Structure 1
Amino acid sequence: MSKESFHQLVASLSAEIAGRPLDQELDGWLNAHHGAGTPSFEGLKQACIEGVAQGWLCDREGGGIRYGRVFKPEDALQRFSVDVVDMQDIAGPHHSHPHGEIDLIMPLEGDATFDERPAGWCVYPPGSAHCPTVASGRALVLYLLPEGQIQFTR
């Protein structure tokens, strides 16, 4: 999996959700059409696993979390930035999402959950905040952030 091929996968998905509100309706739609067990979910998960193995995903580490911004917001990605984290039984730093956040939860070990959600998608609306937490194992989580906006709490 090349970084360019990964970009095409994410661009294809982001084109499907362009302009939609980040809300529970989008959460349900993503899980119905691209959720755990679907070809698109499995393709993105495999791409992330390969990107981590090749070293261009999750190329940084801090506080026991491997992470990295893969792509900055751009028109081809519908103005979403793309980040991927690798977490195991840990809570990350508290932050808020000025424009919302879309997460793809990809368990790797155990029955890993992200913020108590199993494999699949989790959509946070604009203005929401949390301490991202992986429990019961290890997971990769792909984040789509509108305009790359995230605000870490001091």
Structure 2
Amino acid sequence: MTPEKFQAQIADVTREIKGRPLDKTLQAFLNERFPATGPEFQAIAAACRDAVAAGWMCDREHGGIKFGRVVKPCPEIDDFSVDVVEMTDIAGPHHVHPNGEIDMIMPLEGDAKFDGHGGGWFVYGPGSAHRPTVSGGRAYVLYLLPQGAIEFTRASA
């Protein structure tokens, strides 16, 4: 797996969601079109495992969370950025999603859940905020951020 091949895989997803509002309708669409047990989802999950093993994904660590921006916003993926984190039973830093956030949740060990959701897709709308939390095990979470917009805060909740 190379960064270029990974970006091409993500482009298959972003092409299908380009211009759609980030809301529960989009979440339902993603879970139907790219289900967690489906071949596209599983291929992206395998690519993440391979890229982490190769050392170019989740290549930074802070506070027990491995992370990294894999792709900056660009026309090839419809101006989304791609970040991937690896988390095990931990809460991350509080942040706001000015344009929303699309999460691809990939449990790796145990009954890992991200913000209470198991394997699949979860969508936060524009202006939402949270302290991202993985509980019940270990997971990768891939974040698609429109225009790469994220604002870390000092809030604790």
Structure 1 and Structure 2 fold alike (TM over 0.5): yes
Partner residue, 2:92: 92
Partner residue, 1:147: 147
How far, CA to CA, are the matches of 2:31 and 2:128 in structure 1? 20
Partner residue, 2:48: 48
How far, CA to CA, are the matches of 1:38 and 1:128 in structure 2? 28
Partner residue, 2:109: 109
Q: Which amino acid aligns with 2:98?
A: P
Partner residue, 1:34: 34
Q: Which amino acid aligns with 1:3?
A: P
Q: Give CA-to-partner distance per residue, 1:50-86, whole Å, 9 cap, x none.
A: 0000001000000100000011100111000000000
Q: Percent identity?
A: 59
Structure 1, gaps ≥5 residues long: none
Give 1:33 deviation, angstroms: 1.0
Structure 2, gaps ≥5 residues long: none
Q: Give CA-to-partner distance per residue, 1:16-43, whole Å, 9 cap, x none.
A: 1000000000000100110210111101
How far, CA to CA, are the matches of 2:4 and 2:98 in structure 1? 28
Partner residue, 2:80: 80
How far, CA to CA, are the matches of 2:57 and 2:133 in structure 1? 19
Give 1:3 deviation, angstroms: 1.1
Partner residue, 2:2: 2
Residue 99 of structure 2 aligns to a residue whose secondary structure is coil
Partner residue, 1:128: 128
How far, CA to CA, are the matches of 1:5 and 1:74 in structure 2? 15
Partner residue, 2:60: 60
* TM-score, structure 1 normalization: 0.99
* TM-score, structure 2 normalization: 0.97
Moved over 4 A (4+): none
Q: How many residues align?
A: 154
Residue 5 of structure 1 aligns to a residue whose secondary structure is helix
